[in-house]
Amino acid sequence: MGKLENILNIIDDLKITTGVSRTLLAVCPNSLSVIKAAFRAAKRNNSPIMFAATLNQIDNDGGYTGITQFEFINMLRIEAENLNYKGPYIAAVDHGGPWLKDIQVKEKWDLDKAMSAVKKSFEDSISAGYDLIHVDPTVDIHIAKGNSIDIKVVAARTVELINHCETYRKKINKPSISYEVGTEEVHGGLANETVFDSFIRELRLGLKQVNLEDIWPTFIVGKVGTDLHTTTFDKKMASKLTEKVRPLGSYIKGHYTDWVENPKDYPLCGIGAANVGPEFTISEYNGLIELEDIEKIFYKQGKVAKLSNIKNTLWRLVYQSNRWQKWLSESEQNQTFDELIDSRKEWLIQTGCRYIWQHSEAIAARSLLFNNLIRNGIDVDEILLGRIEHDIDKYLYAFNLVDFNNFLE
């Protein structure tokens, strides 16, 4: 039994003995600040923490964070040691599948090349010591627009990738890992009950055919009402999906949990874990703007020689990256950035900062900002990380994870 399954089993046992349900929080590690804040929040709340990293973020090419899988695992270990955090943490691949890495879409990779790259990414994740891999082959850019990928194809590619992972894991003699399958997206995943049921049947049959009956996903991603543009968790659907998968030994995993209006309902509906990502990027952005406001005060007092100009730098870099275009709604596709309403421009820039945190100009502006403030006695970590921690705390409380680590001792 893996570390993740052990935690989930304890959660189930405690539900029976105490009546309290719990949901694990998976933080999207889109910056070093978010990783540090997540560990600080987990340490202070005495709770477990998960990290779910997309291949755009962390991969063998460094991703947009500049971090490989091996560096990521070492980074998590070092941050935990620095804080003397002794609770459990889980490292996971999020949305691992062909064409879910932006460069594969941009360069229109064929199936063989895309699948080979995903397999190599999974191999490196297993070698590095990841605990969970989300296998998500629900996108196919070569299917005509408006058509969905056949769910049998999704299941077959899921089996192929899991089989590859298990073959490689055994070859290098690594411990068992956990799997997550499916997607909440409507572009060809488990978007409705009928497709959901078909996928489960096809997956079970496919795994049996390759002698992997004993390998079954810990998490199945369900469409529970939240997506990029909605923030209401559908309790009725979540409970229904949970009833379907619990007899199979799986848990429903929620995605796009950012800014969800009713996070306390996740444990009540039996959700095993939930991902939060862009929300923490905005937390980091707001923390930097708060620091810049303080810097401007010192500048007026003659205590700072040169302003960092970090807000303008971030806006320019995100705009120039063109990564914001990925998140335009269908109705916005034909609009230029300047034609968008102010609130949308603000959101696209704030969440888009995760793509450019490692740009040399962004690093230089942050360094100047921090130096200006530290010289004047400001604890920048308390302000910046405190912003992110505050938003992480919200989920740790809502998911009933505070002091959960006591039960692991």
Q: Which of 46-55, 165-174, 252-261 has the lowest mean pLDDT?
A: 252-261
Assess whether pLDDT exceeds 70 at residue 387.
yes
**The pair of three-digit structure tokens given for residue 405, joined into one six-digit string:** 């680590």
Q: Which of 146-155, 213-222, 358-367, 368-377 has the lowest mean pLDDT?
A: 146-155
Residue at token pair 């109705």: 331
Q: Are 138 and 161 in contact (CB under 8 A)?
A: no
CA neighbours closer than 13 Å in the CB half-sphere of residue 226: 23
Q: Are 139 and 147 in contact (CB under 8 A)?
A: no
pLDDT computed for residue 190 by the predictor: 52
pLDDT computed for residue 187 by the predictor: 45
Assess whether pLDDT exceeds 90 at residue 120.
yes
**The pair of three-digit structure tokens given for residue 92, joined into one six-digit string:** 């996971």
Closest by CA position to 393, among listed 280, 308, 237, 272: 280
Across 198-286, the runs of DSSP E, i.e. the strands, are 219-221, 251-254, 273-276
Please state, in angstroms and rounded to a whole number, the distance separating the CA atoms of residues 297 and 307: 10
Burial of 263 (0-12, 13-18, 19+ CB in 10 A): buried
% of the chain at pLDDT higher than 70:
97
Can you name the residues that pair with 67 across neighbouring β-strands? 58
Buried b or exposed e, range 345-372, using 16+ CB within 10 angstroms: bebbbbbbbbbbbbbeebeebbebbbeb
Looking at residues 134-138, what average pLDDT do you find?
Answer: 95
Looking at residues 265-275, what average pLDDT do you find?
Answer: 96
Three-class SS string for 31-93?
CHHHHHHHHHHHHHHCCCEEEEEECCCECCCCCCCCECHHHHHHHHHHHHHHHCCCCCEEEEE
Cβ within 8 Å of residue 28, ≥6 positions away? 34, 51, 52, 53, 54, 57, 94, 275, 276, 277, 278, 280
Q: Which of 13-22, 99-108, 222-231 has the lowest mean pLDDT?
A: 222-231
Alpha-carbon separation of residue 63 from 40, 172, 254, 258, 277 (angstroms)? 24, 25, 24, 22, 16
Which domains does the chain carry? 3-278+389-408 (3.20.20.70), 281-386 (no CATH)
Alpha-carbon separation of residue 159 from 84, 153, 167, 206 (angstroms)? 39, 10, 12, 6
Looking at residues 49-63, what average pLDDT do you find?
Answer: 97
User: Residues 96-116: pLDDT tens digits?
Assistant: 999 999 999 999 999 999 999
Please state, in angstroms and rounded to a whole number, the distance separating the CA atoms of residues 240 and 190: 14
Q: Where are the alpha helices (DSSP H) in 213-256?
A: 235-245
Looking at residues 375-387, what average pLDDT do you find?
Answer: 97
**The pair of three-digit structure tokens given for residue 337, joined into one six-digit string:** 């950035």
pLDDT computed for residue 189 by the predictor: 43
CA neighbours closer than 13 Å in the CB half-sphere of residue 55: 26
Q: Are 245 and 265 in contact (CB under 8 A)?
A: no
Looking at residues 292-319, what average pLDDT do you find?
Answer: 98
pLDDT computed for residue 188 by the predictor: 41
Please state, in angstroms and rounded to a whole number, the distance separating the CA atoms of residues 160 and 211: 12
Can you name the residues that pair with 26 across neighbouring β-strands? 50, 275
Please state, in angstroms and rounded to a whole number, the distance separating the CA atoms of residues 194 and 263: 26
Please state, in angstroms and rounded to a whole number, the distance separating the CA atoms of residues 394 and 311: 26
Alpha-carbon separation of residue 82 from 75, 79, 278, 321 (angstroms)? 10, 5, 26, 34
User: Residues 159-210: pLDDT tens digits?
Assistant: 999 999 999 999 999 999 999 998 655 444 455 678 888 899 999 999 999 9
Burial of 215 (0-12, 13-18, 19+ CB in 10 A): middle
What is the pLDDT of the chain when averaged over all its residues?
Answer: 94
Closest by CA position to 293, among listed 380, 367, 360, 357: 380
**The pair of three-digit structure tokens given for residue 104, joined into one six-digit string:** 């594969």
CA neighbours closer than 13 Å in the CB half-sphere of residue 78: 8
